[in-house]
Amino acid sequence: MWQDISRIGRKLVQGGLVESYFGNISVRMGDKMLITRSGSALDELTPDKVIEVDVCGTCALDVLASSETVVHRAIYNNTSALAIVHAHCPYAVTMSLLEGEGCIAPLDSEGRYFLGDIPIVQGGIGSGELAGNLVEALSVYKAAIVHGHGTFAIGRVLDEAYVLTTQVEHSCRIKYMHDLMRK
């Protein structure tokens, strides 16, 4: 399974959806999750850069895992997600800063069809506030943007969460260019 996480990590970096050392990826496997290690380059993941931690509560390996482990854990415990991709997509972050709060309504047909509205949530990195706000949003939507920080997308499999991440960024890029040209 770490190979799938590594493959998605490379695609995120190659696609410009994250800088190498930012973002994180996880997959739920029963009462455990595999999550990228804190400080790992997503385009250079090896078996020792993916940590197995408990889903239901904290464990000793949490100190090695991503700073967003508490957020991933909350999402797994309160939604149907089996995979999560957290990226720092530049257009999504930009649109969250421009919009401030609420939702981004995609203008492109694919975004409207596959995503619907994209909620913007608040909360500090790895905080309980962020975890709660994302659980609320991802209980209804497939993806959300953390204000000024990045995207979280969920799926039944890792590839679904990745595709939703790319769709959020595409829709935000289209909306940004549209809004820019209208001024």
Task: Please write the tens of the pLDDT for every residue from 123-133.
Answer: 999 899 999 99
Average pLDDT over every residue of 61-79: 93
Rounded-to-integer distance, Cα 101 and Cα 119, Å: 8
Torsion of the alpha carbons at 10, 11, 16 and 22, rounded to the nearest 10:
-50
CB atoms within 10 A of CB 156: 11
Average pLDDT over every residue of 162-180: 96
Q: Which domain holds residue 148?
A: 2-182
Q: Count the domains in the chain.
A: 1
Q: Can you give the pTM of this predicted structure?
A: 0.95
Tens digits of residue pLDDT in 5-32? 999 999 999 999 998 788 999 999 999 9
Evaluate if residue 64 carries a pLDDT over 90: no
Higher per-residue pLDDT: 104 or 60: 104
Provide CB contacts within 8 A for 82, sequence distance 6+: 27, 28, 76, 155, 156, 157
Average pLDDT, the chain: 95
Amino acid at site 167: Q
DSSP helix/strand/coil, 84 = strand
| CATH number, position 96 | 3.40.225.10
Evaluate if residue 183 carries a pLDDT over 80: no
